[in-house]
Amino acid sequence: MNNRFIFAVSLIFLGLLQGMAQRKEILLNDNWQFNLTGYSTMVEKMRVDLPHTWNAQDALTGDVGYHRGIGNYEKTIKVPDDWKGRRIFLRFEGANTVTDVFVNGRHAGRHKGGYGAFNVEVTDYLDYGKDNDLLVRVNNGETLEVMPLSGDFNHYGGIYRDVHIVVTGKVGISMLDHGSCGVRLVQDSVSRDHADVRAMVSLSNGSEESVKATLRLRLSDGEKEVLVVEKPVILQAGCESLHELPFSLDEPRLWDGRNDPFRYKVETMLCRNGEVLDVVEQRLGLRFYDIDPDKGFFLNGKHLQLHGVCRHQDRAEVANALRRELHDEDAALMSEMGVNAVRLAHYPHSAYFYELMDSLGMVVWAEIPFVGPQGFVDIPEFKENGREQLVEMIRQHYNHPSICVWGLFNELDEAGNSPVPYLKELNDLAHAEDPTRLTTAASNIDGELNFVTDVMAWNRYDGWYGNMPADLGKWLDDRHSRYPGLCIAISEYGGGASIYHQQDSVVKSVPVSWWHPENWQTRYHIENWRELSARRFVWGSFVWNMFDFAAAHRREGDRPGINDKGLVTYDRKVKKDAFYFYKANWNKEEPVLYLADRRNTHRTLKKQTFMAFTNQPEAELIINGHSMGKVKADGLCTATWHDVELSPGENVVTVISGTGKKRLTDTYRCYLQD
């Protein structure tokens, strides 16, 4: 369907809504003209739809020279004449990295940072009742003025999240509060008996006269109204202002993680003479949490062992230009595995994904893209950009109950200009913006930077980059003994695996080689989880990574350009054996029985070890119809049969657990070479 027709129909529909609150939003994703050049008139354009990145081909082939420069997006929209007297904004959910917006040839705004949303007011740049030309120039070229400076991931260019045009009244809830919705719901005090909350609302008066109005908040549980509070406000002409609206709730229903991810609906309205001028709807998940240096993470007063993974926002074919159904798939895979905590690395992710985490009851670590090792430069522009990105992240995602910690850096180095003074500044800024949450960081060195944030975490790869898995436990015990007051987590642990690399014996991988056998990744995770799960003082641990992801400079595994430490392949089509190990350990709602090493179809050793992951009490192994005996699952939900003889040729391997309707089976075929 013609995009201009869709836009016109949307405008007709908007005309029917004149009697309602004045805010309107229209999605502008379809039918942009795009080219890759510094001068948009010199190269033939191609049609693209958003979300879009121009690096979906070159960066995903392992080309370290993938295009980092300017991409131009152009679109013509007809702006109705009756929009005069209103305020018009373009809202970008994400464009990487520096974005310049032009309307009818005039520069309307710039944003520096690839992972936060931003709004550009275009009210005074539009020709009403006429066609208007939009040009958005996005530059993902390297610059010392914008985070991140480095990172073991691709810096894709493009408008890779949704774009809207937003129409508001002259007076309303502000669209200029660092890309946020303008409403922050501050949980001053929450318990099972009582909750005190403050709505901090940014209001904007774009008119030439002061306005008397009423700020109203309505809290509801489904269709049931719980409370309404309001206060009179005076908005000065041409000004932005911040207003507080406190309210309390007895015996609140709590957001309780995966047990009960309940949220109230909050409608914040600005009214005048009985007319609703503007309304913003948000969700409120009331919860309280604590992290103890000896006992770990507590949610709503109860200890919760965090079963965590990390996630990058990219995947095969589309890179980081993810549509909603792709976010849905990622969240569903996490939920299936029994994940209850997610570190969204190494930058703010889509607001929609945080919404998914809220609804699924995940505990979230959100972080800014302050990524090392060469991640810091002591110049004013860089430091100001870091401050701005931190404020954007906190204000835009403030109301997500899933977020419990703000991450300030990943793997920085203290060599050269030390980042520590700047980290202290960021830590203070995070607390000023949000006094209700803790700060954290991910380190891989010793140094002063490990003692800046409220709680701390380390990236450890014992058994992958040197050492053996048991060394992780030794390191944790030593760290806890040396710093007993420090809250310690493992922000990354993992090992690579190709589903095409199979071997009979379990032999440790060489990380930088082209041989990443799947069974070593499985053994690595079994042994690392053995160490982590036995230490309650570890407040959280996060597998690196939930999914394989692209890093063009990588030269290892089964192909260039891929970091294969994921528990699921880059295209999300194959769950590796380690996925099912965690599913058996973490997912207690679904019966699990899974035979490992199923992709090792051609074998050379007559005597084999077979292993199954199950959350059932025991399992029985059957080879070619003959029972190899029943084995009880150990404390890591693993059943193992040693020295099992295979017959030459084809062998049918089956594992059984339970009886009757509760009977589970899994099977595969393998071949023993003569």
Paired tokens of 587: 């997912």
**327-336 burial string, b = 16+ CB within 10 Å, else e?**
beebbebbbe
650 is annotated as an active-site residue? no
CB atoms within 10 A of CB 274: 6
Paired tokens of 125: 């740049």
- The single-letter code of the amino acid at 458 is W
**Which residues lie below 8 Å from residue 591, measured CB to CB, with a gap of 6+?**
615, 616, 658, 662, 664
Q: What is the dihedral of CA 437, 441, 442, 448, to 10 degrees?
A: -150
**Greatest CA separation for the chain:** 91
Q: How many CA atoms lie within 13 A of 144 on its CB side?
A: 7
CA distances from 112 to 89, 97, 218, 383, 390 (A): 18, 6, 35, 12, 12
- Which one of 411, 527, 531, 620 is the catalytic residue? 411
Q: If you count them, how many residues does the chain have? A: 674
Beta-strand relationship, 296-299 and 183-190: unpaired
User: What would the DSSP string read from start to end of 49-88?
Assistant: -SS--TTTTTGGGT-TT---SEEEEEEEEEEPGGGTTSEE
**Which residues lie below 8 Å from residue 165, measured CB to CB, with a gap of 6+?**
25, 26, 28, 77, 88, 89, 90, 91
How far is Cα 491 from Cα 407, in angstroms, rounded to an integer?
10
Query: Which of the residues are catalytic?
Result: 411
